[in-house]
Amino acid sequence: MAGHIEAARTKEAVYVRVAGLGNFNNAGPMREYCEKAFNDGIRNVIVDLAQCTGLDSTFMGTLMGFLGYGDGRHYSVTVVNATPSTMRAMSSLGLPKILHVKEDRIDFPDCKLTRLREGWQDKRRRTLLIRDAHVALMRADHENEARFGPFVEALVKEAREVLDCDEPPRDK
């Protein structure tokens, strides 16, 4: 059930290869990697799913979140080499309507991919990543609101509780 992400940057794009499952455990490190590249002016993410065995909603929502990255610039996400199972997963949440999904087999340029770390160290950041991903899915396709609305509400409540627990006690 494990998966990992390999990534590389060029002047034009971030290249991401998903091996095994693309899930909440490796979506966070991928998001951090891409956001650093965005801050350096890169606006394209190319995701290779040839070695991917499955995608969860957090991973897919993280990809959708790249399109609306918070600085107002235009970003592009292109998915290449999707397998039938990853295509089904993306289609079930409406991603092919918004992301560029290339049907032809595409090879990455010659660049050295680095394996990203896996997992999160803190519950707060993990909870916020999952919430942000599902909000992006709901914004992308209104059909996802019924599917994820109650889940996001619960995550917001959990995030508040986590944030409250992380704050130092206040003097009265």
Residues 87-119 have pLDDT tens digits of 999 999 999 999 999 988 888 888 899 999 887
- Encoded tokens for 83: 């397998």
pTM for the whole structure: 0.87
- Indicate whether 172 belongs to any domain: no
Q: Check residues 13 and 124 and name the one with the higher pLDDT.
A: 13
- Indicate whether 66 belongs to any domain: yes
pLDDT band at 172 (very low <50, low <70, confident <90, very high): very low
Burial profile 108-144: b = 16 or more Cβ within 10 angstroms, e = fewer: beeeeeeebeeebeeeeebbbbbbbbbbbbbbbbeeb
Number of domains in the chain: 1
The per-residue pLDDT for range 132-166, each reduced to its tens digit, is 999 999 998 989 999 999 999 988 887 777 656 55
- Indicate whether 134 belongs to any domain: no
**Residue range of the domain that includes 36:** 3-119
pLDDT at 70 (0 to 100)? 66
- Indicate whether 143 belongs to any domain: no
- Indicate whether 110 belongs to any domain: yes
- Indicate whether 154 belongs to any domain: no
The SS3 assignment for 134 reads helix
